[in-house]
Chain A
Amino acid sequence: DQQVKQNSPSLSVQEGRISILNCDYTNSMFDYFLWYKKYPAEGPTFLISISSIKDKNEDGRFTVFLNKSAKHLSLHIVPSQPGDSAVYFCAATLYNFNKFYFGSGTKLNVKP
């Protein structure tokens, strides 16, 4: 049972514009949410996270929004850069961080 879902397998955006990556989850007990960026043949790298007690967290060009009532989170990248082209995974975990549930990933392509 996929508890974290990323319904868009790919997204193409023009350089300088906003990239919005979406993620939905089913388990209302999730306490912490994370976004990871992954290049081919490399391990994922942590990007940004948000606690369930917040609805927004910002770090430079990256902002994560959490809508608990809709069980939805999104990652905004503004402005998008060609170097942002990668696969982005969202993940969720319970309060004890003993297990992380990953979405299937969204491949972002930022066109110059």
Chain B
Amino acid sequence: GAVVSQHPSWVICKSGTSVKIECRSLDFQATTMFWYRQFPKQSLMLMATSNEGSKATYEQGVEKDKFLINHASLTLSTLTVTSAHPEDSSFYICSARAAYEQYFGPGTRLTVT
């Protein structure tokens, strides 16, 4: 099956710094990638939809200036959490769409101290 990787798998950063998370589709090209956030014991919250070569579409309530998304190629999308705060600590998951399915990455645990 299709494989999606995320890097890093976990990161700890200090409040006020920026963190970049990479999402790669390893064996297929993905014109569309999604970024989700999951809080403990809660469902996946879609943050934004990333289309290759165009600006990401953000869901209501998600700050586009804080969560910068870049989809520079058909196999790579990045999420940068700018000026991170402790409340940004969460589990971030990306997925890549291939035909009728979407395949998820393993997730990135972000802890902001």
User: Which of A's residues lie within 8 Å of B, judged by CB?
Assistant: 32, 34, 36, 41-46, 49, 89, 97-100, 102-105
Q: Please classify the interface of chain B as helix (H, G, I), strand (E, B), loop, or mixed, using the class held by over half of its residues.
A: strand
Interface residues, chain B, with chain A CB atoms under 8 Å away? 1, 4, 6, 32, 34, 42-44, 46, 49, 91, 93, 95, 97, 100-107, 109
Whether B43 lies near A97 (C-beta < 8 A) is no
User: Across the interface, which residues of A come within 8 angstroms of B49, CB to CB?
Assistant: 98-99
CA distance A42 to B49 in the complex (A): 20
CB distance from A48 to the nearest CB of B (A): 11
Q: A89-B44, A102-B43 are in contact. Are A44 and B93 (CB under 8 A)?
A: yes
Would you call B4 and A103 a contact (CB within 8 A)? Answer: no
Q: Which of A36, A41, A99, A105 makes the CB contact (< 8 A) with B46? A: A99
Known: A98-B49, A102-B43. A49 touches B104 (CB 8 A): no
